[in-house]
Amino acid sequence: MLIQTVETILKQSPESYQAFRLYRVKHEIMPEVMPKVFGKSVVSYLSDFRMKNREMTIRVSSAALKHNLIMLKNQVICKINEEMGEEFVENIVFL
């Protein structure tokens, strides 16, 4: 009898796998990756990370920081993808 992992079972149903992946991103990966990408002091101004169709949305509580992050958007995308080990994010929207 072959034992299947949860991930293998969820891959059989694309909707379930997408929900599983988004949950994993929000609760496991982002808390580890964001301090490496932005630094601990900047992360304290960021909240509400969301992913949909390779587009990440991040709420920023400081207008000046938001402006700087918009200017560095391409570099941030590259750093996130580098940390994830795949092309995980294509676009970032800072709110």
**pLDDT digit string, tens, across residues 30-84:** 778 888 888 889 989 988 888 888 888 899 999 999 999 999 999 999 998 888 7
Q: Residue 64 falls within a domain, yes or no?
A: yes
d(CA 43, CA 30): 11
Q: Residue 1 falls within a domain, yes or no?
A: no
Predicted pLDDT at 70: 95
d(CA 70, CA 80): 15
Q: Residue 36 falls within a domain, yes or no?
A: yes
Tokens of 94: 């800072």
Question: Containing domain of residue 55, as a range?
Answer: 6-94
d(CA 80, CA 77): 5
Domain count, the chain: 1
- The enclosing domain of 25 has a CATH number of 3.30.300
pTM over the 0.85 mark: no
> Which of 49, 39, 23 has its CA nearest to residue 79?
39
Residue written as token pair 């992360």: 43
Give per-residue pLDDT as tens, 2-34.
556 666 655 666 666 666 666 666 666 677 888
Residue 6 and residue 13 in contact, taking contact as beta carbons nearer than 8 Å: no
